[in-house]
Amino acid sequence: MYDGCQWRKYGQKISKGNPCPRAFYRCTVAPGCPVRKQVQRSVDDMSILITTYEGNHNHPISESATAMASTTSAAASMLLSGSSASQPLSTELNGLSFSSIHDNSRSPSFPTITLDLVGSPSSFLTNFPTTSRFPWTNLNFSSQQDQFYQTLTKAITSDPSFRSIISAAISMVDQRAESFGHNPMQATVSQSLKDPSLCESGYFKGLASSSSRIGSSPQSSSLSFSVFNSASALGSDNKEPKK
């Protein structure tokens, strides 16, 4: 699927646990672009594609990719409150863009997972049947935000499958897209954990593949969740150094 850049496949590996292969892509817009990209199909739902981006483009990229990168990096810098994230990792689930930032330059770093819903909502809404949407999508906006927070908190702290979080997010975005004219929204999950084992680099990968380790230590997770409209971030906070 087209995400704003040109990619060349340079490898494919099958992981040990799941039969789904993992494809490796490299950005071919510029000859020396260090951006990598991994595409893997989800284990529990074969219809979900997990795309992981790594690195930053050092060349001009298209408008949609610039918008996506600027919003994710803006959210990252916002969450880290000025601290420079060394290498933000972004992951995509059927158009739902996540990005986990690990500030490994300072010791009390906590992983930050950003759920980016900027990329056109209709693209991933069509990938899920209407039967999987949640019944509480008829709430009003403020209740939705609260419900979204409660659903995410419950989903993370009570050892669910990660897909339930995705489904919750998708259903919320679905409702918002229908009631607000496909207004792009951005949701951010910022999780500060005291458990160092969850702060390692593979935290988000483990969360995406099997979220059982989250429930193993539910008492250590203090989840803070915020929802904000990224349209303002797109307009004013477009301070992406790569242009």
Partner DNA sequence: CGTTTTTGACCGGCGC
Partner DNA sequence: GCGCCGGTCAAAAACG
104 binds DNA (CB under 7 A): no
Span interacting with DNA, options 16-24, 56-64, 212-220, 231-239, rule CB under 7 A: 16-24
Interface with DNA includes 16 (CB under 7 A)?
Answer: yes
Q: Which is nearer to DNA, 61 or 80 (CB)?
A: 61
Min dist CB 158 to DNA, Å, is: 27
Residue 11, interface with DNA (CB under 7 A)?
yes
9 binds DNA, rule: CB under 7 A: yes
Task: Tell me the closest approach of the beta carbon of residue 28 to DNA, in angstroms.
Answer: 5
Applying CB under 7 A, among 1, 2, 4, 10 the residue interacting with DNA is: 10
CB of 168 to DNA, least distance (A): 28
Task: Specify which residues 96 forms β-bridges with.
Answer: 93
- When binding is defined by CB under 7 A, the residue of 5, 27, 35, 38 that contacts DNA is 38
- Min dist CB 101 to DNA, Å, is 18
Angstrom distance (rounded) from CA 65 to CA 38: 17
Tell me how far, at minimum, the Cβ of 7 lies from DNA, in Å.
6
Determine contact, residues 137/175, Cβ cutoff 8 Å: yes
Q: Which is nearer to DNA, 15 or 126 (CB)?
A: 15
**Given 28, 105, 132, 222, the residue binding DNA (CB under 7 A):** 28
Q: Name the residues that contact DNA, by CB under 7 A.
A: 6-13, 15-16, 22-24, 28, 36, 38
